Chain A
């Protein structure tokens, strides 16, 4: 019977929100943005594949055609006067004209790039790279150092961080990727705790200021209404997460499919060029892009565990904060009046977000440990620590404390709420709120 009424309340809270346009706009917009962030660099990379033509006047005579292999730029040697060539390259269909002075080895700044339009960054880089490599090569030879020896001293330290659990099991982890994953989860929790918490508060204010509250609580107990509202809005939040996850995966899959073939071609092309030039630079950057780092972390961590923990920390953390938001909503009659009280609930959320920056730097520090234990700061901070690996007992302790914290907060909130919703025309103070805690029935 009572369960039925709570279900009815949950249903109403859920349906009225899910049917709102704003819900769908935010549910669709976020995945589109994420996909765009993912797809636009690829698209731009594709777009740059259009080969640029550059006319080159090499007065030093150091460059051979074989030095000028570049996947994006086609170099064509020319002869003549710089003064004339810089006027005529555009009409000959070149995108740019490069002049290399005779004394390029001693005067590398004497290189000029002329272009009709503003020259693109990537073209400028390609040209500079080619000139720079050759100049360095020549200077090394001059100094009596073999370029091969020089190459071998270009050591790139990319240490693999390996987590060793007490039973000796090794997991390769990459702290860069973990950091990105942790950061994303921290931000999402921060935003959603504030967002859905204040939705609950506004719902309470709406019921109180529209005066429907008295009719409702003559049918159900205040705590049932409160519980139904909190769960209903929380389910809206979970639905949104689900939509975000499904839509983001779907959209990025479609984008990958769409670009897939071209990307594959590209990579092989790059590899071909790289192997020809004995350079490992570009292939490295391809493999170690941030996205692949995250993928690597996702591979090395227990994804179902992370998702389960995320949903747990979102839902319980949200319930804790939203019960406090609801208590504030019940004590006031308008959203503007609520502002003087909301800061006290927002402070711990903001504080946990600030602490999370620190936790991310040093996930095993004492501060990070306590931040991930204290119920108010634990949802964000534990989720930030989790990708780095957290002992099971710490996770269980943190979850238990969070549940206890929620029970305590909701008890306090329910006591304020049941008095607040019927209190009109009274200027509410902190002292007053304190008194309400001790009111009988």
Chain B
């Protein structure tokens, strides 16, 4: 584990932002931190970044209790992000890299690599004021990763990116993961979660309400439903199955407990010519809404 969050509590004067949060973030994985607005994601991220301190609880970073020296091993791209408008791109990145503990020469050579990589070679002397929004986002991304952190925290990284830059960012995130960096993603965009994350945790009302490996979580929320496509006439009833819907040579079925997919298939093919039999994996969008609604009802 690169990061363990143990029983972390954070209270603000008027509300409880984090209520005994436990999280285990494995190394070299992409971890999705999900939750509706105001659930406590930003509070947790600020604690991991040591911007604020928890009221109680413990955070273990790379085997040691989190302390000031770990600041340089974390990269943070906040949701609301900006740059010094009057400063030149190169000077600005150099400053931010040095604040993360890099030496000047090291920072210059690493930054040059990134400038070549993201195809922005001639930006070094441009003032940030002259950059488009997309260009500023590239600059901010470089500032977050240039010091090669062990843990990269990205808060809604894709917000405001155009599709081309978003794709570039996605590729870079995956490449960074390949190099062994752990990425903590805070988002409520479920398509990103499905595409990129290995593990997830869902926070609602200051608590972790769901956590685990992405595939395992999805399995947990499987309804044992299948989608079929066929030629022929499907009977109105099938043994051990509930037909949820039928729609022009396709149908959705829910298998009864104890019925295997093989048993179901052998039943179906005795009636129709089966073209496709596919398990319906719940989308994270559905899981998210379901879990949030359940916990809200429970509250």
Binding site for B on A (CB under 8 A): 1-2, 5, 8-9, 12, 16, 206-207, 210-212, 214-221, 422, 424, 435, 439-441
Residue of A nearest to B83 (CB): A212
B278 CB to closest chain A CB (Å) equals 44
**A1 x B74 contact (CB < 8 A):** no
CA distance A8 to B107 in the complex (A): 14
**B53 x A219 contact (CB < 8 A):** no
A436 CB to closest chain B CB (Å) equals 10
**A220 x B99 contact (CB < 8 A):** yes
**B53 x A441 contact (CB < 8 A):** yes
Which B residues touch A220, using CB under 8 A?
Answer: 71, 99
Decide if B52 is an interface residue (CB 8 Å cutoff). yes
CA distance A155 to B51 in the complex (A): 75
**B51 x A215 contact (CB < 8 A):** no
- Other-chain contact of A212, B69, B71, B84 (Cβ < 8 Å): B84
**B96 x A214 contact (CB < 8 A):** no
**B55 x A1 contact (CB < 8 A):** no
CA distance A12 to B49 in the complex (A): 23
Which B residues touch A216, using CB under 8 A?
Answer: 96, 99
Decide if B15 is an interface residue (CB 8 Å cutoff). no
**Given A212-B81, A212-B83, 6 extra CB contacts under 8 A:** A211-B80, A214-B76, A219-B96, A220-B71, A441-B52, A441-B54
Which A residues touch B81, using CB under 8 A?
Answer: 211-212, 214-215
CA distance A214 to B96 in the complex (A): 12
Decide if B101 is an interface residue (CB 8 Å cutoff). yes
Residue of A nearest to B143 (CB): A215
CA distance A296 to B55 in the complex (A): 64
Question: Given contacts A218-B49, A218-B76, are A212 and B82 in contact (CB under 8 A)?
Answer: yes
**B85 x A219 contact (CB < 8 A):** no
Can you sample 9 A-B contacts with CB below 8 Å? A210-B82, A210-B84, A211-B78, A215-B96, A216-B96, A218-B49, A221-B68, A441-B52, A441-B53
**B71 x A219 contact (CB < 8 A):** yes
Which A residues touch B96, using CB under 8 A?
Answer: 215-216, 219
**Tally of B interface residues using CB under 8 Å:** 34
Binding site for A on B (CB under 8 A): 13, 46, 49-55, 68-69, 71-72, 74, 76-78, 80-87, 95-96, 98-101, 140, 143-144
A16 CB to closest chain B CB (Å) equals 7
**A8 x B95 contact (CB < 8 A):** yes
A85 CB to closest chain B CB (Å) equals 71
- Secondary structure of the B side of the interface? loop
- Other-chain contact of A218, B13, B51, B82, B84 (Cβ < 8 Å): B51
A223 CB to closest chain B CB (Å) equals 12
CA distance A208 to B99 in the complex (A): 18
Question: Given contacts A12-B95, A441-B52, are A214 and B78 in contact (CB under 8 A)?
Answer: yes
**B84 x A217 contact (CB < 8 A):** no
CA distance A210 to B78 in the complex (A): 12
CA distance A218 to B184 in the complex (A): 15
B296 CB to closest chain A CB (Å) equals 24
**B143 x A440 contact (CB < 8 A):** no
CA distance A5 to B72 in the complex (A): 11
**B87 x A422 contact (CB < 8 A):** no
- Other-chain contact of A435, B13, B55, B76, B98 (Cβ < 8 Å): B13
- Nearest first, the 6 closest Cβ-Cβ pairs linking A and B are A441-B53, A211-B82, A210-B82, A219-B99, A218-B76, A214-B78
- Other-chain contact of A5, B80, B87, B99 (Cβ < 8 Å): B99
CA distance A215 to B147 in the complex (A): 13
Which B residues touch A8, using CB under 8 A?
Answer: 95, 98-99
Residue of A nearest to B46 (CB): A422
Residue of A nearest to B76 (CB): A218
Question: Given contacts A210-B83, A435-B13, A441-B52, are A215 and B78 in contact (CB under 8 A)?
Answer: yes
- Other-chain contact of A16, B50, B68, B80, B87 (Cβ < 8 Å): B87
CA distance A12 to B93 in the complex (A): 12
CA distance A206 to B84 in the complex (A): 8
**A219 x B100 contact (CB < 8 A):** yes
CA distance A211 to B137 in the complex (A): 13
Residue of B nearest to A207 (CB): B84
A40 CB to closest chain B CB (Å) equals 38
CA distance A424 to B98 in the complex (A): 28
Question: Given contacts A16-B87, A214-B81, A215-B143, are A440 and B55 in contact (CB under 8 A)?
Answer: yes
Which A residues touch B72, using CB under 8 A?
Answer: 219
CA distance A1 to B80 in the complex (A): 28
- Other-chain contact of B85, A5, A210, A214 (Cβ < 8 Å): A210
CA distance A8 to B80 in the complex (A): 24
Residue of B nearest to A11 (CB): B95
Which B residues touch A440, using CB under 8 A?
Answer: 53, 55
CA distance A435 to B12 in the complex (A): 11
CA distance A164 to B96 in the complex (A): 58
A425 CB to closest chain B CB (Å) equals 11
CA distance A154 to B276 in the complex (A): 125
Residue among A5, A16, A206, A215 with the most chain B CB within 10 A? A215
**A218 x B83 contact (CB < 8 A):** no
Question: Given contacts A12-B95, A422-B51, A441-B53, are A1 and B101 in contact (CB under 8 A)?
Answer: yes
B155 CB to closest chain A CB (Å) equals 9
Which B residues touch A210, using CB under 8 A?
Answer: 82-85
CA distance A306 to B74 in the complex (A): 49
Which A residues touch B46, using CB under 8 A?
Answer: 422
CA distance A437 to B242 in the complex (A): 63
Which A residues touch B69, using CB under 8 A?
Answer: 1
Which B residues touch A16, using CB under 8 A?
Answer: 84, 86-87
Which A residues touch B99, using CB under 8 A?
Answer: 5, 8-9, 216, 219-220
Residue of B nearest to A19 (CB): B86
CA distance A216 to B84 in the complex (A): 11
CA distance A48 to B109 in the complex (A): 67
CA distance A218 to B96 in the complex (A): 11
CA distance A45 to B51 in the complex (A): 66
Which A residues touch B74, using CB under 8 A?
Answer: 218
Which B residues touch A422, using CB under 8 A?
Answer: 46, 51-52
- Other-chain contact of B76, A5, A9, A207, A215 (Cβ < 8 Å): A215
Which B residues touch A221, using CB under 8 A?
Answer: 68
Which A residues touch B76, using CB under 8 A?
Answer: 214-215, 218
